[in-house]
Amino acid sequence: MDISSFIKGLSSLAWLATIGLIVLAVVRASRAKPIKGGATLVLVMAALSILLTVLGLGLVFLQPEERGIVISPYISQGYRTEALGAGLHWIIPGETVKRYTISNQTYTMSIATTEGSIYGDDSIAARTADGQEIYVDASVIFAINPDSVIDVHITWQGRYIDELVRPQARGIIRDAVSQYGVEEVVSTKRFEFTQYIIEALTTKLQDDGLILVDFVLRNITFSPEYANSVEQKQIAEQQALQAQFVVEQKRQEAEQARQVAQGQADAVVIAAEGQAEARLIQAEAEAKALELIAAAIRSNPDLLTYLYIEKLSPNVEVMFLPSDAPFIFPLPDTGLGTETELP
């Protein structure tokens, strides 16, 4: 409770006390038992009641979010040229104060019955540049400019919401919608569309003493016919994407099979090259060995005979050869017998 309300309460109590004293004094006087000094007490209480009443009528307390316009019959223009700020103020009895809030206020226009500032469908019906009808849900968050409270009072008084904010917002939104196609409004140029509304609404409200705090584009609803066409288009696009996905999947499977086959072919080639390389190395080794053997034989002719004998059974001590053998290798003397050639 602020001090002005407190004083008004005291004033009411003082008047009740004054009336009570008067009634008590009259009753006691009728019974020949007057109150000693009763008249003086009644006069004092009456004077106190009048004083508190005057103070109560002259004191005005404004909350921090309030500004006051003093309506005065004592001024030719009818009002004080400066608005009252927050706190306790004194006005002349007979003057009145019109209070205005400077805190943020929100005006919502919605297609939902109970969401908007007006009960029922209060969305903004508008047509796009390509002739499609849409319904826009929006909220305008605004405040009275503290420096323009008197101008707002003179021009609009308490009608600034219904006669300024609402019609201006709806008109500007319709103008903005008419400059964009339906696809641009809902997707590609939605931000640009919103910025256009904010700039235009800021300028208009500022000219009339209000400040645009924020503009919220809540929702955009299509007509049933267009909504159905959009749904069919989305279904077709999804089917096309699905078909494209299947084609891509098949292509990837074919590519995978090709890479597997290529890998197998590369493996066969690598194996063949490895075998050929091994054969080549083996042949080179054999040729080198033969060269070494040939060189050893050239330097020691008896080496071949030795190797020949070494391959024979170790138990053979005498060998009989046919008389028509084309070659006879002389055996080394073992000391156990003599080599004999049969006729």
Of residues 10 and 61, more confidence is placed in 61
pLDDT, tens digit, for every residue of 245-302? 888 888 888 888 888 888 888 888 888 888 888 888 888 888 887 787 777 777 877 7
Q: Among the ranges 195-204, 255-264, 288-297, 329-338, which has the highest mean pLDDT value?
A: 195-204
CA 8 vs CA 58, 62, 66, 100: distances in Å? 10, 15, 20, 22
Helix (H, G, I), strand (E, B) or coil at 238: helix
Q: What is the pLDDT of residues 294-318, one digit of tens each?
A: 777 778 777 667 666 666 656 656 5
pLDDT at residue 148 above 90? yes
Helix (H/G/I), strand (E/B), else coil: 89 = strand
- Candidate CATH numbers 3.20.20.70, 2.40.50.700, 3.40.50.11750, 3.30.479.30; the one for domain 105-222: 3.30.479.30
- 187 versus 234: the higher-pLDDT residue is 187
**Confidence label for 339 from pLDDT (cuts 50, 70 and 90):** very low
More confident residue, 129 or 312: 129
Mean pLDDT of 157-179: 94
- Nearest to 226, CA basis, from 138, 137, 127: 127
Check if the beta carbon of residue 138 is closer than 8 Å to that of residue 217: yes
Question: Does residue 65 contact residue 144 with C-beta atoms inside 8 Å?
Answer: no
Poorest-pLDDT segment among 73-77, 118-122, 265-269:
265-269
pLDDT value of position 200: 96
CA distance 18 to 50: 10
Task: For residues 300 and 189, give the distance between their C-alpha atoms in angstroms, rounded to a whole number.
Answer: 102
Instruction: Give whole-number Cα distances, 143 to 194, 208, 219, 229, 339, in Å.
Output: 20, 11, 23, 41, 138
Q: Give the SS3 label for residue 129.
A: coil
Q: What type of residue sits at position 159?
A: R
Question: What pLDDT, on a 0 to 100 scale, did the predictor assign at position 163?
Answer: 94
Q: How far apart are CA 117 and CA 109, in angstroms?
A: 6
- Residues whose CB is less than 8 angstroms from the CB of residue 39 and which lie 6 or more positions away in sequence, other chains included: 25
What is the secondary structure of 73-86 as a DSSP string? TTSTTSB-SS-B-S
Closest of 165, 167, 183 to residue 175, by C-alpha: 167
Q: Match 């038992």 to its residue by tokens.
A: 33
pLDDT at 334: 41
Pairing of the two strands 133-144 and 105-109: antiparallel
User: What tokens does 137 get?
Assistant: 């849900």
Q: Where are the domains of the chain?
A: 3-100, 105-222, 232-299, 301-343
- The burial of 283, by beta-carbon neighbours within 10 Å (0-12 exposed, 13-18 middle, 19 or more buried), is given as exposed
Distances (CA, A) of 294 to 55, 289, 304: 143, 9, 10
State whether the Cα torsion 130-136-142-144 is positive or negative: positive
79-106 mean pLDDT:
90
Structure-block tokens of residue 252: 């990837």
pTM, two decimal places = 0.58
Euclidean distance between CA atoms 302 and 294, whole angstroms: 12
Strand partners, 221: 135
271, two tokens: 């194996």
Identify which of 84, 88, 86 has the alpha carbon closest to the alpha carbon of residue 65: 86
CB burial class (10 A; 0-12, 13-18, 19+) of residue 85?
A: middle
